[in-house]
Amino acid sequence: MNRAVHSLFVSRLSGLSLALILLATGFGYPGYAAEQTTPITKVSGSKPPLRKLNPSPKRAYEIRMKLENVSDISPVDRGSALFASVEGTMQFDVRNAAKCGKSRWLAGNVPVISSHEPFRLSPVSATEYVGTVYTDLILDEDYYRRGVCHWQMTEARVALKARDREDDTRFVAGLSAQKMSAGDTQQRYFWKGYYPHFEQGKFADYGIAQLSTVEKSKRDQYFTITLSAKAIGQ
């Protein structure tokens, strides 16, 4: 390798290394989450799975979402809600996908069968929303002629945006099915600087789990999403 080619190679390698370092550090912003796409219904990343919805689900939970420390955030549109887009999603996974799912040609390729079903969140105040999820929403059946697939709900998730625009930040928080059944709550903390959008482009912010990782003088720069669940008629 002559000196000119070697210098060009080193220069490009150094530039790539710097880019990777900036990406790993999140450009220095607190609570930065790299751009992530919305989860979709999938079977190992391919076509949507075969699944039938339960016409009369019974195992219901009330999901309650509370916003805290948002009084100093001004809505993008005067007179409108702080978050014009509030979406709820139930994540379901087949716990025995390796046995009941489609077989794969590649050895060792364990199938993953997931489905994400929407649920409605309705406001009860400017900072509180409620919705209902059903853990038995998807029916267990022999979808692939390899045995009954057993669906289980794994998480209830909310996504908030200032407006219904692609470039606005998606603030995402979730409550696991285990915490739902135990009556536990889940809190996530989100940096207010990402509202309504992040200057580098659209992305989803999944917040941080503990404010203890933030300097005390900067903790007021975060708002909180708290999710809780209560069984209905059980």
In a domain, 124, yes or no: yes
In a domain, 165, yes or no: yes
Got the DSSP string for 5-35? Answer: HHHHHHHHHHHHHHHHHHHHHGGG-TT----
The pLDDT of residue 48 is above 60: yes
The sign of the torsion formed by the CA atoms of 208, 211, 215, 217 equals positive
In a domain, 30, yes or no: no
Helix runs in the chain, H state only: 3-25, 97-100, 177-182
pLDDT of residue 75: 94
From first CA to last CA, the distance across the chain in angstroms is: 73
Q: Which band of pLDDT confidence, cut at 50, 70 and 90, is reported for residue 202? A: confident
In a domain, 15, yes or no: no
The pLDDT of residue 21 is above 50: no
74-83, 135-144, 193-202: range with highest mean pLDDT: 135-144
Q: Which residues contact 105 (CB under 8 A, 6 or more apart)?
A: none
CA nearest neighbour of 52 among 166, 149, 145, 125? 149
**Among the ranges given (61-65, 177-181, 196-200), the one the predictor scored with the smallest mean pLDDT:** 196-200
Question: Could you give the CA distance from residue 171 to residue 188 in angstroms, rounded to a whole number?
Answer: 10
pLDDT of residue 152: 98
Instruction: Count Cβ neighbours within 10 Å for each residue of 141-177 and write b for 16 or more, e otherwise.
Output: eebbeeeebebebbbbbbbbbbbeeeebbbbbbbbbb
Share of the chain above pLDDT 70, in %: 76
User: Would you call 219 helix, strand, or coil by DSSP?
Assistant: helix
How many domains does the chain divide into? 1
In a domain, 28, yes or no: no
Please give the angle made by the CA atoms of 64, 35 and 37, to the nearest 5 degrees: 65
In a domain, 14, yes or no: no
pLDDT tens readout for residues 103-119: 665 556 667 899 999 99
Domain that holds residue 120: 39-232
In a domain, 24, yes or no: no
In a domain, 18, yes or no: no
pTM for this prediction: 0.77
